[in-house]
Each structure stands twice: as structure tokens, then as C-alpha cells.
Chains A and B, each alone.
Chain A
Amino acid sequence: MLGVALLVFREVLEAALIVTIVAAATRGVVGRARFIGGGIGLGIVGAIVVALFAGAIEEAVGGAGQELFNACVLLAAVLMIGWHVIWMSSHGRELAQQMQSVGHAVKAGSSSLAMLLAVVALAVLREGSEVVLFLYGMAAGGAGRADLLLGVPLGVAGGTAVGFALYFGLLRIPMRHFFTATNWMLVLLAAGLASSAARFLIQANWLPAWDNQVWNTSALLDNGSVVGQALHILVGYEARPAGMQIVFWLATTVLLVFGMRWITRVHAASRAAPAVAPPATA
């Protein structure tokens, strides 16, 4: 039972942290609950489909299908987060001001929201397909019904609880810094996902590793531990990163930060009325 609960917990935790960051980043948006719920629902359906076709996916690209599929899902999420972050850097300030002054929800750009819905769906799909395969194996391998009936809800509840804890922690950030904070979290999330994508491409021999282990901090914090795993998702922490992973992490961070700065500057320059707010400096 504990084995089932633990594996489910770990997978749910990874997805829950991503969903939490998205939930925080879309604070105050009309219909947010519906589209996050929709993303999770789509992700679960996707997870079952991916698990069903796992064999076909693997054989599709000469025995590297699994790695390429994962890398594509991760890089797609990176692109979508990037889009949202850069869009937010021109609208986030208005969003925060409206929320402070009017005190009710605002309507945000729908294209940017659709992107984040997709990020939620992809996160649930990736982690969920592993859970589906694992549970199928447990059921086929004759695991006790009680193991599954107790272990699965326990794992899901545990993972979700950590997500909620993080969410309510984030809500304590003062409103004027709130979207700056969630934007940074999205940038680091994207950088970490890009680094994971690089790892899959190295594993498939599609990319050179550029040194398999640039440093080793596993004695300090192992990626096998729950904290190490949480930080792996949140900021891309890797106890033994390959050089190529560091390149992907840095490239994503630099691109997004410069993208944000650039858009903010363009937006501030095009603004005529300085009476509303001082120029944004993200």
C-alpha cells in the first residue's frame, strides 16, 4: 500500500507543483477554475491515451520514441510558458492594479490563458501516463485491491496537499510583487523543464551530453528525495547535471528574461499617460 501511495504521491506532486504555479500566475482571472480544471481533465484523458499507445510511441522513432515524446511535451510547455511570461510582462502591472483598485476579477488575454491550460494538461499527461502504467502493472501483477484502493487516494491527496500548501504560501506575497514573483517562478519552471528535455535528448543520443556530470551535489540534496524532486520541478534543480542541461537551463532563462525586459520597455515607451503609473521596470 505504501509503495503505491509513494509512487502516486511523487508523480502527483510533480504535476501539482506545476498546476499550482499556473493557478497562482492566473490569480484574479475570470473562469480560471474552469480552465485549470479543464486542463487537468484533458491531461488525465491524455495520460490514459499515452499509456495505451506507449508501445507504439516507443517504436515510432527507432526505439527513441519515449525520449522524443517527453522532450517534445516538455519543450512545448516551455514555449507556452514563455509566451505567457512575455505577454504578462506587458499586462501584469495593469492586472495587479485593477485587482487592487477594483477588487474583483479581471479578464485576461484568452490566447495566453489557452497556453497555460495546455501547460496544465501537458504536465498532468506526462506524470499521469506513468501512474496509469504503474497502476496497470500493479493490478496485472496481482496487487491487493486494498493496496490500490487505499494507496492511490492517499498518494493523490498527499501530492495535491503539497500543491495547495504552496498555493496558499504564494498568496501571502503582497499584491504589488505578486505577478513579478509568479512570473519568475514560471521562468524557473520553464528553465527546469527545458533542462529535463535536454536530458531525454541526451538519453536518446540525439544530443551530446557535454560532460555527463558537471557537478555532484547529491550528498547535499539528492534528486531522489522529495525535497530534491520538488526543487527539480520548481527551479530545475539537478544534483548531477549534464553540460547540455545547463546550456538549456541558461538559454531558457536568458531568453525569457530578455524577452520580458524588451516587451516591458516597448510597452512603457508606447504608453502616453504617465499619470496612471510610473514606467514598468520588471
Chain B
Amino acid sequence: MLNRICLCLLLTASATAWAADLPEFQLTIKAQKFEPAQLTVPANTKFKLRVTNTDNTPSEFESTEFNREKIVLPNSTVTVFIGPLDKGSYKFFDDFHQDTGKGVLVVE
């Protein structure tokens, strides 16, 4: 387990170096909806997704299709690293507002 932690730390150094070069995309949560509700990203490319919550209530950006989940506090922005993904469409949702918070990531 200690080895694993060391490995984590080692990989961090390299991982943060790559992070700067990654393409960035933006999602905004407004009135408990995603804007845009459909986001197009390149296939087979790792990217950085910034999710900004402009509401006064917390949200949770989540997808079981590209396996990500992160709480987005009121009036704040989080970063989530996604991919590389194969071509296709992947649904995501706001776990705290499932009725309204729905969106699709179109990978092409």
C-alpha cells in the first residue's frame, strides 16, 4: 500500500505536467440546467472539463457512462478530467436535480 502511495505521488508530478496541454471545455449550470445541454468534444483525446455552477444550490455533476462524479458547490467552478473516449454519445446528469439537470457529451 505504501508503494502504491509513492507511485501516486510520482505519477502526480508527471500528470500535472500534462494537464496544462489538455484541451478545455466549459459547462455551466444555470437554473439547475446544463448549458450547453449538448457538448461536443474530440474522440480519443483526454480533456479538461470545467463545470461552473451559477446557482445558489449545490449540484453534483455525474455520469455513469463516462464514470465521473463531482460535487459543484454554489457559485463555484470545478475541474474534471475526462477521456480519451471512443466516438459516441455519453449522458451526464446533475445528481442533485435529476429532473432538470440532463446533458449529453457528443464525442466525434
Are A and B associated in one complex? Answer: yes
A residues with CB within 8 A of B: 3, 7, 54-55, 58, 63-64, 66-67, 75, 78-79, 82, 130, 133-134, 136-138, 140-141, 199, 201-208, 212-213, 218, 222-224, 238-240, 242, 251, 255
- Closest partner residue, chain A, to B50 (CB atom): A63
8 A Cβ contacts from B75-108 to A: 76, 78-81, 83-86, 95-96, 98-99
B residues with CB within 8 A of A: 1, 4-5, 8, 11-12, 15-16, 18-19, 32, 48, 55-60, 64-71, 73-74, 76, 78-81, 83-86, 95-96, 98-99
State in angstroms the CA–CA spacing of A75 and B8 once bound together. 12
| Main secondary structure on A side of the interface with B | helix
Given known A-B contacts A79-B1, A136-B58, A199 and B67 have beta carbons under 8 A apart: yes
8 A-B pairs with the lowest CB-CB distances in the bound complex, closest first: A137-B57, A205-B81, A224-B64, A141-B57, A137-B58, A223-B64, A133-B58, A205-B15
- Closest partner residue, chain B, to A225 (CB atom): B64
User: B56 contacts which of A130, A140, A213, A239 (Cβ < 8 Å)?
Assistant: A140
- Closest partner residue, chain A, to B73 (CB atom): A55
Question: With a CB–CB cut-off of 8 A, which chain B residues contact A205?
Answer: 15-16, 18-19, 48, 81
Given known A-B contacts A66-B70, A133-B71, A134-B96, A222 and B1 have beta carbons under 8 A apart: no
State in angstroms the CA–CA spacing of A159 and B39 once bound together. 35
- Closest partner residue, chain B, to A67 (CB atom): B70
State in angstroms the CA–CA spacing of A238 and B99 once bound together. 25
User: B79 contacts which of A64, A78, A213 (Cβ < 8 Å)?
Assistant: A64
Task: Given contact pairs A67-B70, A75-B1, A222-B64, enumerate 20 new A-B contacts (beta carbons under 8 Å).
Answer: A7-B95, A54-B71, A64-B79, A66-B71, A75-B5, A133-B73, A134-B60, A134-B96, A138-B57, A141-B32, A141-B57, A199-B67, A204-B81, A205-B18, A205-B19, A206-B8, A206-B12, A212-B66, A223-B64, A240-B66
